[in-house]
A = this chain, B = another copy of it.
Amino acid sequence: MTQPAIGDAFGEMIRDAYAVHTGVGRRPLAGGRYPRPVIEVIEREDGLINGAPAAHYLAEPDEWRSFDHRAVRLCRGRVLDIGVGAGRIAIELQRRGIAVTGLDTSAGAIEVSRDRGLRDTVLATVDEFSRASVRYDTFLLLGNNLGLLESAERAPAFLAALARLAAPGARIVAQGADPYGTTDPLHVSYHENNRARGRLGGQLRLRLRYREIATGWFDYLNCSVGELESLLAGTSWRLKSIDEQDRPYYVAVMEYTG
């Protein structure tokens, strides 16, 4: 098989999902005729593949899961929404009069967020952006984006980049997923193989695919609350609170101690 081209698969998907959502612009059609839902395809390095409708990236507040609402209520001051996607959360914060910046590494995601009215956006990694002189009071990692910690190796650098952007008393509000409740042998053995290679069990090696394009392979971390606490040790962040009402999903608040 020809390998897919590497590119902004996430952005292409978000663009199409937005076109389907609004009914405007080029949309995926079956037979040039029947609308088809936009599907996000996630491939794991062990050959596992999963498709999921992309519409949730454009969910309105009344369609959000309840933990998203609880997470948003934990925002204080100036907010950086990291992995802003189609702007689902950031646009609602802006609507509520909160100063919010949307950051993403996907040009397509930033384009859609702006088109939907998000005023302050940044196309960059957190590392790149951390050289900016701006400071934030809240860093939001919703939509499972605690996963952007990636791995035990990467987490300290990611957290240090946020520390450079942190105003005194800043917090991270992050939604994670504890992967260890599963009994699915596919996942249990993946966790075991990870540990045998010295990785955290829920460290997923993934790529997104959309039509002819794939992202490069990246790590995405599903970790338990205990693992999160270990990752924070030695950083400028400490765990302040955990909301576990919707297990295995949780919302963690981490406080800046620098």
* A residues in contact (CB < 8 Å) with B: 1-5, 30-33, 36-37, 39-41, 43, 45-53, 177, 181-182, 186, 209-212, 214, 217, 246-249
B-chain residues with CB within 8 Å of residue A248 when the two chains form the complex: 31-33
Other A-B pairs beyond A1-B45, A30-B52, 7, CB < 8 Å: A4-B49, A5-B47, A31-B181, A41-B51, A49-B210, A186-B211, A186-B212
Number of copies: 2
> Which of A37, A47, A246 is most buried by chain B, counting CB atoms within 10 A of its CB?
A47
Which of these, B4, B47, B53, B212, contacts A212 with CB under 8 Å? B47
Taking a contact as CB atoms under 8 Å apart, the answer to whether B209 and A49 are in contact is yes
Q: Which residues of B contact A30 (CB under 8 A)?
A: 52
Q: How far is the CA of A43 from the CA of B1 in the complex (A)?
A: 9
Q: Given A2-B46, A45-B1, A211-B186, are A51 and B32 also a contact pair (CB < 8 Å)?
A: no
Give the chain B neighbours of A53 by CB distance below 8 A: 37, 39, 53
Task: Check A212 against B48 for contact (C-beta < 8 Å).
Answer: yes
Contact of A41 among B1, B31, B49, B182 (CB under 8 A): B49
Q: How far is the CA of A88 from the CA of B5 in the complex (A)?
A: 37
Are B211 and A31 closer than 8 Å at their CB atoms?
A: no
**Shortest CB distance A104–B (Å):** 22
A36 touches B52 (CB 8 A): yes
In the complex, are the beta carbons of B182 and A32 less than 8 A apart?
yes
